[in-house]
Amino acid sequence: MKHLFWIGLLLGAALVSATARCAAALDPAAYSYREQPGAHLPMQLSFSDSANHSVRLDALAPGRPLILVLAYYRCPGLCSIVRESLFRALGAAQLKAGRDYAVAVLSIDPTESSDDAQAAKSADLAAFGSGQADEDAWHYLTGSAPDISAIANAVGFRDQFDPKTKQFIHPAGVVFLSPGGLVSSYLLGVGYTPAAVRSAIDGARTSRIVAAAMPLLLICFHFDAGTGRYSLEILKVLRLAAILTVLTLAGLLLVLHRRERVGS
165-205 pLDDT, tens digit each = 888 888 889 999 999 999 999 998 888 999 999 999 999 99
pLDDT of 251 > 80? The answer is: no
Least confident of 35-44, 103-112, 217-226: 217-226
Least confident of 30-34, 68-72, 134-138, 152-156: 30-34
Give pTM, 2 decimals: 0.73
Cα 38 to chain center, whole Å? 19
pLDDT of 230 > 80? The answer is: no
**What's the pLDDT at 18?**
43
* Sign of the CA dihedral running 25, 233, 32, 158: positive
- Spelled out in words, what is the top-level CATH class assigned to the domain 31-229? alpha beta
Question: Cα–Cα distance between 221 and 9 in angstroms, integer?
Answer: 35
Please provide residue 12's backbone torsions phi and psi, each rounded to the nearest 5 degrees.
Answer: -65, -45
